[in-house]
Amino acid sequence: MKQYLVKPGAKVKLSKIDPADTGDFKGGKEAALAEFEKLNGKLEALQELLFAEHKHKVLIVLQAMDAGGKDGTIRRVFDSVNPAGVRVASFKAPTAEELDHDYLWRIHKQVPGKGEMVIFNRSHYEDVLVVRVHNYVPPEVWEKRFDQINEFERMLAESGTTILKFYLHIDKDEQKERLQARLDDPTKRWKFRLGDLDERKRWDDYMEAFEDVLSKTSANYAPWYVIPANRKWYRDLVISSILVETLEGLKMKYPESEENLEGVVIE
Ligand code: AMP
Ligand code: MG
């Protein structure tokens, strides 16, 4: 799955990356699902270990266009983990109080503590995406944010946080289908916002903004992955496998009891 990693310093051109890529699973959604189930079980065990060891902090950042699959990813990839050790932080348009502070203020409050896994559904990257596309602040303000974000994430990493960032890559046709489904399906309508259509008109501006994000803020200590996301089953599989591989790489161990349990007999 390393092919989806954005190498630090590499210039990303999203039009050159196939959103419908299904890797080694060309004909095989069934095979992919079987593989996914295995990873799901591993993730469950790794998350328990993370919690028990109480040493590492894990931060997962999800960014995508509207209907890109952030909610679905959270629902599917994390459906086996214990809710006690996982938290989702969703970042909407900032409140008045949040706007009175620096843009990282609300973000920093939500980062994971020891033993915790936190999923960011949108993140500080909105402050160089929607904010840039809509000119909410002038370029001289948002341009500085790439360095600021890199330093912020470096600080988190040096404080024991494992950071993984996923850009869910869909194409404009796929977005149209998904927005249409939201419009047509009464159980999905609540997700449809007319404003999403305005954002859709700015697709090219967003792609440019995402390319800058991916090119300027992928670091060894906080890598970006561009996840082919037109096929939901492949998206979930790729994210699960990167997550499992990364967590296995932490070489976590169940801690010993803090008390001496030698010879303890339970009557
Ligand atoms: P959703 O994720 O569909 O619930 O939508 C959340 C909305 O909040 C999206 O339209 C985002 O673009 C918007 N949003 C999130 N963060 C920011 C930000 N820092 N500034 C402006 N809008 C934001
Ligand atoms: Mg939305």
> 128 C-alpha to center of ligand 2: Å?
18
Supply the DSSP string of 107-162, one letter for each residue.
Answer: HHTTS--TT-EEEEES-GGGGGTHHHHTTSS-HHHHTTHHHHHHHHHHHHHHTTEE
pLDDT for the residue numbered 26: 76
CA distance 242 to 77: 11
Nearest CA to ligand 1 atom 3: 66
CA distance 250 to 181: 40
Ligand 1 touching residue 130 (CB < 6 A): yes
Backbone angle region of 27, left / alpha / beta, with phi > 0 → left and psi within -120 to 50 → alpha? alpha
Ligand 1 touching residue 127 (CB < 6 A): yes
Poorest-pLDDT segment among 117-126, 151-160, 257-266: 257-266
Ligand 1 touching residue 126 (CB < 6 A): yes
Nearest CA to ligand 1 atom 17: 93
Indicate the pLDDT class of residue 1, thresholds 50, 70 and 90: confident
Mutate to test the pocket of ligand 1, among 62, 91, 92 (most ligand atoms within 8 A of CB): 92
pLDDT for the residue numbered 2: 85
> 259 C-alpha to center of ligand 2: Å?
50
| Local structure of residue 219 (DSSP, 8 states) | B
Q: Which CATH superfamily is domain 2-248 in?
A: P-loop containing nucleotide triphosphate hydrolases (3.40.50.300)
Ligand 1 touching residue 207 (CB < 6 A): no
Averaged over 133-155, what is the pLDDT?
98
| pLDDT digit string, tens, across residues 64-123 | 999 999 999 999 999 999 999 899 999 999 999 999 999 999 999 999 999 999 999 999
| pLDDT digit string, tens, across residues 117-143 | 999 999 999 999 999 999 999 999 999
φ, ψ of residue 118 in degrees (nearest 5): -120, 135
> 66 C-alpha to center of ligand 2: Å?
5
> 37 C-alpha to center of ligand 2: Å?
28
Ligand 1 touching residue 131 (CB < 6 A): yes
Averaged over 216-240, what is the pLDDT?
98
| Local structure of residue 251 (DSSP, 8 states) | -
> 163 C-alpha to center of ligand 2: Å?
24
Q: Which long-range contacts (CB under 8 A, 24 or more apart) does 203-206 make?
A: 203/65, 203/172, 203/175, 205/133, 206/65, 206/129, 206/133
**The pTM is what?**
0.97
